[in-house]
Chains A and B, each alone.
Chain A
Amino acid sequence: MNANFPTLIWLALVALTLTTYAIGASDMTGSGAMLTVLFIALVKGQMVANYFMGLRHVAPGWRLLILGWFLIVGGLIALAYKLT
């Protein structure tokens, strides 16, 4: 693995975290903000699972499992949010 590559991933994760924080700190509310924050969590999760955990070298079923978990959990959270 190129030593710079994980570092780039890490920087991206930091940037995404700060974005989430900024959304929280601003007064942005509503479905748009909620979906953005959940989508960011999904992207971060994929980065950690695929690049840090190393799942991209593993049979695709395992990657799909993690992706599926984020989609289902995130989807149900969004659904519950829309119920209100």
Chain B
Amino acid sequence: MTAEAKNQHEGLPGDFAIWIFILAEMLAFGVLFVAYAFARAHDVALFNASQETLNRTSGAINTLVLITSSYFVARGVDAIKRDLSRDCAWWLGATWLLGAVFIAIKSAEFHEKFSAGITLSTNSFYMFYLALTFFHFMHVLMGMIILAVVIVKARRGGYGSRDHAGVETAASFWHMVDLLWIILFPLIYVIR
């Protein structure tokens, strides 16, 4: 991106298009979160009872995993701004591994629920729980794909202090995935 174009977008980290995308995604998730809250208001007892069957501990661990991964990404961006390509690739690689940990824990949760015979049609709570967390799950996978591409390029020294929009774009997407979970976790696992 040229300096002029960058200026136009008020110095947003990464590509301007990813920010439009992030806003649209946050809007979509926002609507879904609010839909959950109002659906819950219709049948509090059912939601509270079903919520009890969730594994709050694995939800909390996944929160720690995601915020730590966000921290790693931030360190990675910091590293590339100082031209430390190898450090950047290392931090992003660690992020990717944490993403994999998140996927593993979440998959175990899904597996447990599916083997208990729970589906989207079981009740409204499980419908929201499964759909919202699955939708988020897909975003983690998407983030890991983006990160993998950036890591490969960073290892080859493809970024530097003057040209790291690609790293920042991937980082911004990853932070968004974290931001969404920051609401998702208390909303679905904790508030009752």
Contacts and interface: CB of A to CB of B under 8 A. Distances in A.
Do A and B contact each other directly (Cβ–Cβ < 8 Å)? Answer: yes
Contacts of A51: 74
Nearest to A40: B186
B41 interface: yes
A41 to B, nearest CB: 5
Interface residues of B, number: 44
Interface in B11-44: 11-13, 19, 23, 26, 30, 33-34, 37-38, 40-41, 44
A59 to B, nearest CB: 3
A45 B182 contact: yes
B33 A52 contact: no
Contacts of B192: 29
B186 A14 contact: no
B92 to A, nearest CB: 14
A3 B26 CA distance: 29
Given A58-B11, A73-B33, A44 B182 contact: yes
- Most B CB contacts (10 A, CB to CB) among A17, A38, A70, A84 go to A17
Contacts of A3: 78
Contacts of B138: none
A29 B182 CA distance: 19
B190 interface: yes
Interface in A40-76: 40-41, 44-45, 48-49, 51-55, 57-59, 61-62, 65-66, 69-70, 72-74, 76
Interface residues of A, number: 50
B128 interface: no
Interface stretch (B64-72, B99-107, B149-157): B64-72
Interface of B: 10-13, 19, 23, 26, 30, 33-34, 37-38, 40-41, 44, 56-57, 60, 63-64, 67-68, 70-71, 73-75, 77-78, 168, 171-172, 175, 178-179, 182-183, 185-187, 189-192
Instruction: Give the 7 A-B residue pairs with the shortest CB-CB distance, closest first.
Output: A59-B10, A80-B37, A24-B190, A21-B60, A10-B71, A52-B74, A77-B37
